[in-house]
Amino acid sequence: MIADPIRAHFEAHAATWDEHAPPDLDARLRRLLLPFAEPLRAAHLILELGTGTGACISHLRHYAPSARLVSLDLAHAMLVRARRRNAAAHLAQADVQHLPFPSANERCGFDLVICHNSFPHFQNKPHALREVRRVLRSGGRLLILHHLSREQVNAVHQRIGPPVADDVLPTAAEMHQLFDRSGYVQCWVEDAPTHYIAHAVRP
């Protein structure tokens, strides 16, 4: 029995997860990442949070062919599927609230942290944001991405019910507050009818 209800939920749904993906998911992911092609190309070390079955990995590889990419997830069953899809990926089972990496310094740290469709599930968001900030190098960037609108994401979680019913994507104002309190700069949020992007930089 898994004590963490969020982890138990994703462990249980991993086997059928990809059956629920939209048929144009790949095109949506390419579009979502396109504005960040330059920072992706320039990054040496990228961390992906909540990779699930690894849907983003090949797209991150496309934009960042020479970076070292580490993709992590809380649920082991999700990572098993991510491995099948991406044989050479660097995968890790970990909770974003306890990242298994040293604090960044002048010599090491992530250039980019990407989080697609997983931020609403982080139960202690201020803590998760501080933990991400800890491993980002100075000038490193955090991207929270969704290929659906905020309303659509929140409605999907409501429809699924517990334990994800209340896993909401914050409004732009709430996200700004979260970023500010966690010590980020250059924060902006695009809360659009087709997608959601939240961007922040570690000073």
Ligand X SMILES: C[S@@+](CC[C@H](N)C(=O)[O-])C[C@H]1O[C@@H](n2cnc3c(N)ncnc32)[C@H](O)[C@@H]1O
Yes or no: say if 133 and 152 are a contact pair by the CB < 8 Å rule.
no
Encode burial over 95-122: b for 16+ CB neighbours within 10 A, e otherwise. bbeebebeebeeeebbbbbbbbbbbbbb
Q: How far apart are CA 148 and CA 173, in angstroms?
A: 18
Q: Least CB distance from residue 107 to ligand X, whole Å?
A: 26
Cα end-to-end span (Å), the chain: 41
- Considering only 86, 117, 154, 182, the residue that binds ligand X (CB under 6 A) is 117
Q: Least CB distance from residue 83 to ligand X, whole Å?
A: 13
Interaction pattern, residues 10-49, with ligand X; x per rule: CB under 6 A: x--------------------------------------x
Q: Least CB distance from residue 149 to ligand X, whole Å?
A: 15
Q: Least CB distance from residue 186 to ligand X, whole Å?
A: 24
Under the binding rule (CB under 6 A), the answer on residue 118 touching ligand X is yes
Instruction: Identify which range of 38-46, 73-81, 106-114, 176-184 contacts ligand X by CB under 6 A.
Output: 73-81
Q: Which is nearer to ligand X, 97 or 152 (CB)?
A: 97
User: What distances in angstroms separate CA 139 from CA 20, 39, 182, one per listed residue?
Assistant: 36, 11, 15
Q: How far apart are CA 42 and CA 38, in angstroms?
A: 6
Instruction: Identify which range of 31-39, 102-110, 115-123, 190-198 contacts ligand X by CB under 6 A.
Output: 115-123
Q: How far apart are CA 19 and CA 155, in angstroms?
A: 19
Under the binding rule (CB under 6 A), the answer on residue 97 touching ligand X is yes
Contacts (CB under 6 A) with ligand X, residues 132-161:
none
Using DSSP's 3-state secondary structure scheme, residue 50 falls into coil
Instruction: Identify which range of 59-67, 72-80, 177-185, 191-199 contacts ligand X by CB under 6 A.
Output: 72-80
DSSP characters over 80-133? HHHHHH-TT-EEEE--GGG-SSPPP-SS--EEEEEEES-GGG-SSHHHHHHHHH
- Considering only 122, 179, 184, 196, the residue that binds ligand X (CB under 6 A) is 122
Under the binding rule (CB under 6 A), the answer on residue 111 touching ligand X is no
Q: Could you list the residues that contact ligand X (CB under 6 A)?
A: 6, 10, 49-52, 55-56, 73-75, 78, 95-97, 116-118, 121-122
